[in-house]
Chains A and B, each alone.
Chain A
Amino acid sequence: MSDTLTKLEAADFINRSFKPLPRSYGDALIEAALADERIVALCADLVPPTETDRFRDELPERFLNTGIAEANMIGMAGGMARSGEIPFCHSFCAFITKRVLDQITMQAAYPNLPVKIVGFLPGVATLLGVSHQAIEDVAIMRAVPNMAIFEPSGPEYHAAMVKLALDWDGPAYLRMKRPETTPAPFEPQSLEVGKGVVRRAGGDVTLISAGLCVVESLNAADLLASEGIDACVVDMASIKPIDAELILEVAAATGAIVTVENHNVIGGLGSAVAEVLMDEGIGLPFKRVGVQDQFCEGGTTPYLMNKFGLDAAAIVDAARGVMKKKD
């Protein structure tokens, strides 16, 4: 029994094993809240996973942990917004969209109030499995009038997400992803409501992507370059309103489009891009990379991105396919 620990020793080992990750979103939210006293934060008992611990500790009178009760959180946020506040509501993407859609629709979107819906764990990217995977959230939220949707391609865009949410007067959904490691330094381009960002220029095919899939698309573009295919990569961080002008521009310039999303291929970014093209009567080689209308499972993110066809290899395949149709 000499190798057993006392309770104090065990607690000490456990406390020392917690390694805090950067909180780029949480830091940006605090900064915004210090500059604008209308901002309040609500959280349905997922404080560290939604990076709201600093807000809780530094602005406790403007923070409310609502308990594990998302519907009540959104309803209360509607009340706060009616009272001149700008509530940022936090949970996981799956719960803060699907679970409370009716409350969002009636108490935030219909009255067009500045209720900001902030979800973490986008798409397949979680060990926590089907209950925690939001592969329908973009489709659902896109269909809600007045709602804007923004998704960062990495933590370097988290601060811009807070700005976009505030630039949009009505309800907005932020589809966030916590970094799993400390990211390498990167100078982000500025983001605007309704604007995509060209992350790489190219003339043969355009990869239009958002969120986690932007990095995969950039990697795919490198692989395609080695095959002599010159891919343009667009980060469509503003999923709604979408950058129709840019979509039409890259369609004309490259003549082929692949959309890439960490989401079901039904109703998400791919559908949004297709709608823009169809409304203009533009037909061109086109492919949607994303979850192929199936439920997923828990796993590490690289494993899931590969298994469900969201990684660079899947994007390369799709790009080759549309290039063939171009000929």
Chain B
Amino acid sequence: MNAKHNLEELEKIATRLRLHVVDMVAPSGQGYVQQGLGAADIFASLYFAEATMDPENPDWEDRDRVFLTTAHNTAIFYATLAERGFFNTDLLSTYVTDGSTLEINSSERMGTFVEATCGSLGQGLSVAIGCALAAKRQGRASRFYVIVGDGEMQEGQIWEAAMLAGSKGLDNLCLIVDYNFVQSEGPMDLVMSLEPLMDKMQSFGFACQEVDGNDIGALLSAYGTARETSGQPTFIKANTMMGKGVASLEGLMFHQLKFPPEVAASARAELEAQL
């Protein structure tokens, strides 16, 4: 069920996930490298320590559910699912090739571990809230984790959903924003800032925490606090760095890049040196 790895193991896992991200995107240049590297610590901590799930029985009704509502951040998502045992890591090499179920935007045709088909931004939080409300009615102890992108929070539906979660005091819901500060056009404040985000979420009824989203220890502690919170949904603003873990890519704010072979080779060498 819970993988329950210690911090050192989790950091190794995150590095392995990053290596997969590089290997998956390198052949075609399709996919999101910088975001995948940036979010690796959120995925490692959530899937390998916090969330209770059973890869042998992915339909288990009492599982904790993770909704990736920024459904295009799939290189890291699929790497995580494969390493966690939901499918064979060999499949990762089919990423974004014709006929593969490993599409850029994740689809539930892969299996129930894709809890909802998102991709059209801003929709996943509502679905998670629906599941969380149903779980309350059914007396299940499951928790519902939602990873949204920061740019995605510009969608109005996010705020409709957040308002409802707050008003219902939905304490089995934990909303995590992968706050890498980049959207398609570039830095978020160039388009439309979310700030003051913590104040907004607090006023919507969430118990809020802000953490370094690349510090696995801090993430684990935030999940723990969230789990102990009752009567309120929780919000974790996880500040992540684009390209984290690969020194030559850290902080480069490319929403999309072609991933030239020289850059991919360097990234690979840098990550391998950490294992």
- CB-CB under 8 A from B185, the residues of chain A are 45, 47, 65
Given contacts A14-B252, A127-B30, contact A4 B183 (CB under 8 A): no
A128 at the interface (CB under 8 A from B): yes
B-side contacts of A298, CB under 8 Å: 96, 103-105
Chain B hits for A48, CB < 8 A: 184
Contact of B263 with A by CB under 8 A = yes
Known: A7-B252, A129-B119. A68 touches B98 (CB 8 A): no
Q: For the complex, give the distance between the alpha carbons of A297 and B105 in Å.
A: 10
- A131 and B105 form a contact (CB under 8 A): yes
Interface string of A90-123 (1 = CB under 8 A from B): 0000110001000000000000000000000000
A181 within 8 A of B: no
B154 touches A67 (CB 8 A): yes
| Minimum Cβ distance to chain B for residue A68 (Å) | 4
Task: Known contacts A129-B104, A131-B105; decide if A99 and B120 are in contact (CB<8 Å).
Answer: yes
The answer to whether A14 and B258 touch across the interface, beta carbons within 8 angstroms, is yes
Question: In the assembled complex, how far is the CB of residue B241 from the closest CB belonging to chain A, in whole angstroms?
Answer: 12
- Decide yes or no: A68 and B151 within 8 Å by CB, A130-B119, A303-B99 being known contacts: yes
Contact residues in A for B202 (Cβ distance below 8 Å): none
Output the nearest chain A residue to B273 by Cβ-Cβ distance: A1
A90 to chain B, nearest CB (A): 12
Q: Is A241 interfacial (CB 8 A cutoff)?
A: no
Interface status of B191 (Cβ within 8 A of chain A): yes
Q: Do A45 and B248 touch (CB < 8 A)?
A: no
Q: Which residues does chain B contribute within 8 Å of A71, judged by CB atoms?
A: 156
Closest residue of chain A to B188, judged by CB? A67
Q: Is A46 an interface residue (CB 8 A)?
A: yes
Q: Answer whether A299 and B155 are a contact pair too, CB < 8 Å, given A7-B252, A14-B252.
A: no
A17 within 8 A of B: yes
Q: Which A residues lie within 8 Å of B141 (CB)?
A: none
| Minimal Cβ-Cβ distance residue in B for A18 | B258
The yes or no answer to B111 lying at the interface (CB within 8 A) is: no
- What chain A residues lie within 8 Å of B263 (beta carbons)? 5, 10, 13-14
A127-150, CB under 8 A of B: which get 1 and which 0? 111111000000000000000000
0 or 1 for each of B231-274: is its CB under 8 Å from A? (1 = yes): 00000000000000001111110100111101101100110010
- What are the interface flags for A5-44 relative to B under an 8 Å C-beta threshold, 1 for contact and 0 otherwise? 1110111011011100000000000000000000000000
Interface size class of A (residues with CB under 8 A): 35 or more
Task: Using known A-B contacts A47-B185, A129-B119, A303-B99, determine if residue A7 contacts B154 with beta carbons closer than 8 Å.
Answer: no
A65 to B151, CA, bound (A): 12
Chain B contacts for A17, CB-based, 8 A: 29, 257-260
The reply to whether the CB of B132 lies closer than 8 angstroms to some CB of chain A is: no
Residues A299 and B99 in contact, CB atoms below 8 Å apart: yes
Contact with A along B32-75 (1 / 0, CB 8 A): 00000000000000000000000000000000000000011000
Confirm or deny: B192 has a beta carbon within 8 angstroms of a beta carbon on chain A: yes
Q: How far is the CA of A49 from the CA of B121 in the complex (A)?
A: 16
Q: How far is B25's CA from A127's CA once the two chains are assembled, in angstroms?
A: 14
Size class of the contact patch on chain B: 35 or more
Whether a CB of chain B sits under 8 angstroms from the CB of A300 is yes
CB–CB B98/A303 < 8 A? yes
Judged by a CB distance under 8 angstroms, whether A279 is at the interface is no
Q: Is B89 an interface residue (CB 8 A)?
A: no
Flag if A7 contacts B107 (CB, 8 Å): no
Whole-angstrom distance between the Cβ of A89 and the nearest chain B Cβ = 16
Q: A282: CB under 8 A from chain B?
A: no
CB <8 Å contact, A67 and B191: yes
In the complex, what residue of chain B is closest to A56 when comparing beta carbons?
Answer: B185
Q: Given the complex, which residues of A lie within 8 Å of B72, measured CB to CB?
A: 128
- Taking the nearest CB of chain B, how far is it from the CB of A212, in angstroms? 17
Chain B residues in 8 Å Cβ range of A61: none
Residue of B nearest to A4 (CB): B266
Task: With a 10 A CB-CB cut-off, give which of A14, A71, A132 has the most chain B CB atoms.
Answer: A14
- A94 — nearest CB in chain B belongs to which residue? B120
A252 touches B (CB below 8 Å): no
Question: Is A3 in contact with B103, judged by CB distance below 8 angstroms?
Answer: no
Chain B, range 96-135, C-beta contacts under 8 Å to A: 96, 98-99, 101, 103-105, 107, 109, 117-122
Give Cα A192–Cα B118 distance, bound, in whole angstroms: 38
Residues of chain B whose beta carbon lies under 8 Å from any beta carbon of chain A? 29-30, 71-72, 96, 98-99, 101, 103-105, 107, 109, 117-122, 151-152, 154-156, 183-185, 191-192, 247-252, 254, 257-260, 262-263, 265-266, 269-270, 273
Closest 5 CB pairs of A and B: A131-B119, A67-B154, A67-B192, A17-B258, A298-B103
A positions within 8 Å CB-CB of B? 1, 3-7, 9-11, 13-14, 16-18, 45-49, 65-69, 71-72, 94-95, 99, 127-132, 297-300, 303
Jot down 5 A-B pairs with beta carbons below 8 A, ordered by A. Answer: A45-B151, A45-B154, A45-B185, A49-B184, A299-B99
